[in-house]
A and B are shown apart, each in its own frame.
Chain A
Amino acid sequence: MALVTTLRRLVQNSLREYSRKASAVTWPTGQRSFTVGTQPLRSDNKVTVNFINRDGEKITVKGSPGDSLLDVVINEDLDFDGFGACEGTLACSTCHLIFDEEMYKKLGPITDEEMDMLDLAYGLTDTSRLGCQICLTKSLEGMVARVPESVADIRQTKDGSS
């Protein structure tokens, strides 16, 4: 698994990867911490997460309990354009993810602050959440999260360009 990840990193010579890794270490303290590089070797401690990207492709990765879904996206170098712009500080809606009803119910309570930002997400649904606020637990094993289209945050009026 580690080898695959390493190979993926070598092959994916993407700015986003570099940007994510570098920006990640400057996340403010007190916010969600995450691991860079080495993960615990005991694979039974991992939670499988499936992402459906904007092309409809399914990407299966693993995260550790306590990681947020944004942490997972970053740690696994998943290439979702513009995902997590504010680095998990509830100041944007770009880590918007959509779940099926059953999984949504398992995700735990949503705070007013999360809802305030989620309200601005494009394509908001009743089973939408912000990835930076969902923390993995074993009970979420095998979860599926869809990355929706990311056109405009609704804090933009309709009079756009011609």
Chain B
Amino acid sequence: MGAHKLLFSELKLWTSGRGGWIARLHKGIGACGKASLSSCSPKVCIVGSGPAGFYTAQHLIKARQDVEVDIYERLPVPFGLVRFGVAPDHPEVKNVINTFTQTAKHSRCSFYGNVNVGKNVSITELQQAYHAVVLSYGAEGNRSMGVPGEDLAGVYSAKDFVGWYNGLPSCRELSPDLSCETAVILGQGNVALDVARILLSPIDILKKTDITQPALEALAESQVRRVLIVGRRGPIQIACTIKELREMVNLPDTRPDMVAADFDAVKEALKDLPRPRKRLTELMLKTALEVPGEKEQERRSKASRTWGFRFFRSPVEVLAEPSHSRIAGIRLAINKLEGSGEGAHAVLTGEVEDVSCGLVVSSIGYKSLPIDPSVPFDSRKAIVPNTMGRVKQAAGLYCSGWLKTGPTGVIATTMNNSFDTARSLVEDMDSGTLDVSAAKPGSQSISALLEKRGVKPVTFSDWEKIDNVEMKRGESSGKPREKLLTVEEMLHVAWT
């Protein structure tokens, strides 16, 4: 009550000159770090600085003029999968970094990198310091195939393979062996197609992207000439989208290699499909079945690399070489479909098929992991249980992004998802469901805690130093940036 009266009298004083008002405010209440409009400004903490974190922050800052948002990130560098997931040859998708940068530089937003929530500071401590905590740390794990031989050398999750070519520090040592002729990718979503495309793209294209130098060098030496992209179900159930398929069809120096029989019964189903699915299926049919014109015929005959979909196949075992040290192939169960359309499911027929290969990439989904025992976690769905972004049975705790809905969707999906969570949070603040009347210390107390624990956060300006070094390094090789590959290097640049 006293705070409200003070606020009102401060508002009246505002007309007598903003400078004077701020001085009285600071004198009366005591400034904490940045100039707060009021000591009772709601303070929100966001865990994770990928699209979910930034879009949630953006919406909060816009919706209420008094909210202050602090974004915590485990790595020294922000932006999550925009930096580490989006393929190097899709730079336009990374344009969202510009809007995130503006958010980070807003006076009511602060970025704290190099802080491991769950290890350096607990969720409980964050909840004590902030009025609300939003969990937006995404999905750093991956679904496993659950088949024997999965741990053999030569088998990788797409999450790790993508992390490797995108410079995720924890994937630096992956060193995938690309000395084999055939690579098999399990899964047919856009990530699977990204992996296929990076494996088969001409080096001249890749060398102008922000792909890491070690990955570029490894791919330049790669012997991989054939990539099979394998799915449990049929062409109509394929999870990738048309833009990515078109990129494969048009990939220089490659030709498609499909099994015509996989497409029986697809043509008849076409007419009932909604336009997006229909166009995608038509492109697949055309690529698989149509006899190409002379020019395309010639282009294909000259191609040195092939790619193709294989349908109705599920992995049952990764086969080892006699020495049992590395992979020799993969055993696939043959399925048939029951039902049709989106709901069709794969049923084993009992038959199997062995495919020789030296590289297997499992691209069957990312997976969120629990961050802190105090946070509810649904291990079956691998999400934090919530209703419209409000974590169930946990007042003051919210979630956005893949942690909220599961690891599917593109940046725009995550954007809408995050806006929804922000809306729930603002609603709760406005209605009083979330009590923001009592002042909370926010980053003041957390910074003190971190200092005591020997943890030094990386600020956004520190990140900009890293950003500039990377861009400068890229200049000399004609790349948009040359990413720093270790946390040590990043911290060194940040703090020098």
Complex Cα gap A86–B275 (Å):
23
Question: Is A91's CB under 8 angstroms from B383's CB?
Answer: no
Assuming the contacts A28-B92, A116-B246, asked whether A159 and B412 have C-beta atoms less than 8 A apart, the reply is no
Which residues of chain B have C-beta atoms less than 8 A from A16's C-beta?
A: 58, 62
Assuming the contacts A91-B95, A155-B413, asked whether A160 and B405 have C-beta atoms less than 8 A apart, the reply is yes
Chain A interface SS verdict (over half): loop
Option from B59, B241, B387 in Cβ contact (under 8 Å) with A162: B387
- A-B contacts counted at CB < 8 A amount to 123
Assuming the contacts A86-B95, A152-B416, asked whether A119 and B102 have C-beta atoms less than 8 A apart, the reply is no
A 3-28 binary contact with B (CB < 8 Å = 1; else 0): 00000000001111011001100111
Q: Name the residue of chain B whose CB is nearest to the CB of A117.
A: B243
Complex Cα gap A45–B423 (Å):
40
How many residues of chain A have a CB within 8 Å of chain B?
43
Complex Cα gap A85–B334 (Å):
42
For residue B381, CB closer than 8 A to chain A, the reply is yes
Question: Is A85's CB under 8 angstroms from B99's CB?
Answer: yes
Which residues of chain B have C-beta atoms less than 8 A from A116's C-beta?
A: 241-243, 246, 279
Question: Is B96's CB under 8 angstroms from A85's CB?
Answer: yes
Which residues of chain A have C-beta atoms less than 8 A from B419's C-beta?
A: 81-82
Question: Is B93's CB under 8 angstroms from A22's CB?
Answer: no
How many chain B residues sit at the interface, stated as a range, is 35 or more
For residue A76, CB closer than 8 A to chain B, the reply is no
For residue A124, CB closer than 8 A to chain B, the reply is yes
Which residues of chain A have C-beta atoms less than 8 A from B387's C-beta?
A: 161-162
Which residues of chain B have C-beta atoms less than 8 A from A158's C-beta?
A: 342
Question: Is A156's CB under 8 angstroms from B409's CB?
Answer: yes
Question: Is B415's CB under 8 angstroms from A90's CB?
Answer: no
Interface residues of B in 78-114 (CB under 8 A from A): 90, 92-93, 95-96, 98-99, 101-103, 106
Question: Is A15's CB under 8 angstroms from B416's CB?
Answer: no
28 contacts between A and B (CB under 8 A): A16-B58, A18-B106, A19-B102, A22-B102, A82-B55, A85-B99, A85-B415, A86-B96, A89-B95, A92-B93, A92-B411, A92-B412, A115-B279, A116-B242, A116-B243, A119-B241, A119-B242, A119-B275, A124-B276, A152-B409, A155-B190, A156-B410, A156-B413, A159-B406, A160-B405, A161-B385, A161-B405, A162-B386
A residues lining the B interface (CB < 8 Å): 13-16, 18-19, 22-23, 26-28, 81-82, 85-87, 89-94, 112-113, 115-117, 119-120, 124, 150-162
Question: A18-B102, A27-B95, A156-B410 given. 16 additional CB < 8 A pairs?
Answer: A15-B58, A23-B98, A23-B99, A85-B411, A86-B92, A86-B95, A91-B92, A92-B412, A94-B415, A119-B280, A124-B275, A152-B413, A152-B416, A156-B405, A156-B408, A160-B405
